[in-house]
Amino acid sequence: MIDLITPQSIIANLRAGSKKQALQELAKKAAELTGQHERAIFDVLLERERLGTTGVGHGIAIPHGKLANLDRVHGVFARLERPVDFDAIDDQPVDLMFLLLAPEAAGADHLKALARVSRLLRDGTMCDKLRGSDSAEAIYALLTQGEASHAA
C-alpha cells in the first residue's frame, strides 16, 4: 500500500450526495496528486462504471482506470461522510472508496494493485476501523499498518 498511497491521498470525510459527485471528488484529488487533468480522470472512471459497477459490496467501491501519462499506479482512498447509492452488486450504499489509476501499459501491476486493495477491504474488521477513523493520518496508518511487518 505504501507504494500506492500517501497521507495526502486520503480523504477522511468526503462529502458527496451521489455516485457521480463522489467520483468527481476523487478525480479532483487524483488530479492534484498526479498532475493529470481532472476531466480526463473523471471520464476514465465513468467509462469504467459503464462497463459494470465498481461497487463490490459491503459498502465498498474500487473505481479504477488507466491513463496514458502516468508513471506508476496511484491510489486515493476516501471515507464518505454519508453513504451514497453506487449501484453496488449487493445494492448496499457505498461509504469506503479506493480509487486506483494506472498507466495504460501497466498490465499486471494494475491487476496486482486491484487484488491487494480488494483483499485489504474484504477484511470486515479493517473496514470497521476505517469507518471509525475521521482523520487522514489515522486512515493512512490503518491502510499501511501491516506493510512494515510483512516486509521484515
Catalytic positions: 64
Instruction: Tell me how many degrees the CA angle 26-74-97 measures, rounded to the nearest 5.
Output: 40
Tell me the three-class secondary structure of the chain, residue by residue.
Answer: CCCCCCHHHEEEEECCCCHHHHHHHHHHHHHHHHCCCHHHHHHHHHHHHHHCCCEEECCEECCEEEECCCCCCEEEEEEEEEEECCCCCCCCCEEEEEEEEEECCCCHHHHHHHHHHHHHHCCHHHHHHHHCCCCHHHHHHHHHHHHHHHHC
